[in-house]
Structure 1
Amino acid sequence: MTSPSAPRDAVRRDPGRPGRTGPGRGAVVRGRVPWALAVPAVIGLAFLVLPLAGLLVRAPWATLGERLARPAVLEALRLSLVSATAATVICLVFGVPLAWLLARVDFRGKRVARALVTVPLVLPPVVGGVALLLVFGRRGLLGQWLESGPGVTLPFTTAGVVLAEAFVAMPFLVISVEGALRGADTRFEDAAATLGASRWTVFRRITLPLVAPGIAAGAVLCWARALGEFGATITFAGNFPGTTQTMPLAVYEALETDPEAAIVLSLVLLAVSVVVLAGLRDRWVGTS
């Protein structure tokens, strides 16, 4: 508790803990900001904002609609949307059960499993593409069997794009859903179990509705990451217009021949990122 003589603006109420005041967790202390912190903070903010502002300043606004309507751009956009959505569906099918396993089941090697799930977050995407080739390529561990048996070829196909995007995007979904599961109240699940509900029924009727916001947030982040994937895609699936050329690959190719087209494509991806962050602002972006 602050004394009556304390300045009113010395401490601001913590918005995350109603009724709590004081310089504790989440409290914002007002007053003169030290230059030793303000100057590098402003420089850091400018470092992040200026490149984005450069896209807006140098964008060919007069011919924006015409460039976006070009068949090559529309085809790359269509392929990006379709492949990112398909990759997100795959991540939901396999990622949600994986997140539940990591959050609710104790087993030997759990920490190793969680670490392996997060590896694609820090692994260079090109390395991920090479790893996919070694496993699913025509001479890979599984690829040679897929080609000789069912006759399925994944590298340098649209299916390869989906596979590469799912590989790099699934950790975003798993981490989000696992966090939601860990924060969910388990009393409802325990009550349903005591009434005779099976684990599958509890998961389907109780757990999934409880963590639905976390699943939705993870799915959106997963979709956005898949939409912007470049390194693993170009390494594993190549850059073939109409087949594997997504928006990021089209940007890379346009930089060599038509820089203004690259700016237009980059603006589309930037707009998608802004929309995703705006949609998840209550979960991922702090508000004051």
Structure 2
Amino acid sequence: MIGGIPWEEFTAPILLSLRVTMTASVIVFAAALFAAWTLGRRTYRFKTIVETVFLLPLVLPPTVVGFVLLALLGRRSWIGRAIEAVFQAPIVFTWWAAVVASVVVAFPLAYQTMKVGFGSVDRSLEEAARTDGAGERQVLLRITLPLAARSLLTAYVLGFARSLGEFGATLMIAGNIPGRTETVPTAIYTAVESGRWAPAWWWAGAIAALSFVLMLVAGRTPKAQ
């Protein structure tokens, strides 16, 4: 027993949150890396509009983000029906829906951090490598990514932490089904609503401790030389 509830009941939301967050953080990192590299350092038509769309989840209420995702992926939309036809099951009110919600809300933080990181790389070093015959892939792997490594790590940590703490959009599209879609934030909400403050404190402490460790690791990472 911990916080007045069985150990299995206490750890279930934590394990599900970690499962959702680790999956979402990898997707966020890959998507943000691609977007920041291909879009962040170039000037093109409608760039401002595209980047504004990317950053919208930062300023929109999470419930609005969740509502839009529910409308897009629910059974009434062609996207939702297509997903259900392919996988023989709807995506809403599953742990994958929680992953989608976490990806959408965490992506802007990771994208903006990576964009700043890539922008801080000395372009003269990249040009020198190209002059020596390096291709774009070699420049990216051997020059840009190593010099922006700290920003990339920070972006991953921010995406991970944001995914871990996601609540509003997740509640809208994934629900709060114990053992299936109940993450730590939704478990805390339910516990407080029912007057069970002890487990809520334990869950809050667990998620705060994990976030603290992540931020500490990111902060202690040495800058690339």
Calculate the TM-score normalised by the size of structure 2.
Answer: 0.90
Name the CA shift for 1:68/1:282 in 2 (closer, same or farther; >3 Å).
farther
- Identify the residue that residue 135 of structure 2 maps to in structure 1: 198
Check 1:187–1:69 CA distance in 2 against 1; reply closer, same or farther (3 A cut). farther
Which of 1 and 2 has greater Rg?
A: 1
Contact 1:247/1:265 (CA < 8 Å) preserved in 2? Answer: yes
**Deviation per residue, 1:164-218 (Å, 9 max, x gap):** 1111011111011100011111222212222332222322232111111101001
The answer to whether the Cα contact below 8 Å between 2:176 and 2:182 also exists between their aligned partners in 1 is yes
Change (3 A) 1:275 1:69: farther
Alignment counterpart, residue 156 of structure 2, candidates 219, 230, 238 = 219
Structure 2: distance between partners of 1:131 and 1:199: 38
Pick closer, same or farther for the CA change 1:152–1:106 going to 2, 3 Å: farther
Q: Which residue does the alignment assign to 1:52? A: none
Paired position in structure 2 for 1:123: 60
**8 Å Cα contact 1:68/1:74 also seen in 2:** no
Task: State the alpha-carbon separation in 2 of the partners of residues 146 and 66 from structure 1.
Answer: 39
1:278 to 212, 216, 224: 216
Change (3 A) 1:161 1:199: same
Which amino acid in structure 2 is aligned with residue 265 of structure 1?
Answer: W
1:1-288 mapped onto 2 (5 Å cutoff): 70-151=7-88, 153-257=90-194, 258-281=196-219
Quote how far apart the aligned CAs of 1:279 are. Answer: 3.2
Q: CA RMSD in A?
A: 2.0
Q: Matched residues in 2 for 1:208 and 1:69: separation?
A: 46
Aligned to 1:142, what secondary structure does the other structure show? helix
Compare the two structures and name the one with the higher helix fraction: 2
Deviation at 1:78, TM superposition (A): 0.5
Instruction: State the Cα distance separating 1:267 from its structure 2 match.
Output: 1.6
Shift of 1:275: 2.6
Contact 1:165/1:233 (CA < 8 Å) preserved in 2? Answer: yes
Offset at 1:86?
A: 0.6
SS in 1 for 2:39: helix
Cα distance in structure 1, aligned partners of 2:31 and 2:92 = 21
**Aligned residue pairs, count:** 220
Q: Residue type matched to 1:89 in 2?
A: V
Greater mean deviation of Cα atoms: 100-109 or 210-219: 100-109
For 2:48 and 2:154, the matched residues in 1 are separated by 24
Q: Is the 8 A contact 1:68 1:264 kept in 2?
A: no
Letter in 2 for 1:271: A
Report the alpha carbon displacement of residue 66 of structure 1 after superposing the two structures with TM: 6.1
* TM-score normalized with structure 1 length: 0.71
Query: Do the aligned residues in 1 keep the contact of 2:3 with 2:198 (CA within 8 Å)?
Result: no
CA deviation map 1:133-167 (0-9, x unaligned): 11122222411222224535210111111111111
Tell me the alpha carbon deviations over residues 206-250 of structure 1, each in whole angstroms, 9 at most, x when there is no partner. Answer: 211111110100100110010000000010011111111000011
SS of equivalent to 2:40: helix
Deviations 1:89-148, CA, capped at 9 Å, x for gaps: 001111111111232221111111121111101111111111111112222241122222
Q: Does the residue aligned with 1:249 lie in a helix, a strand or coil?
A: helix
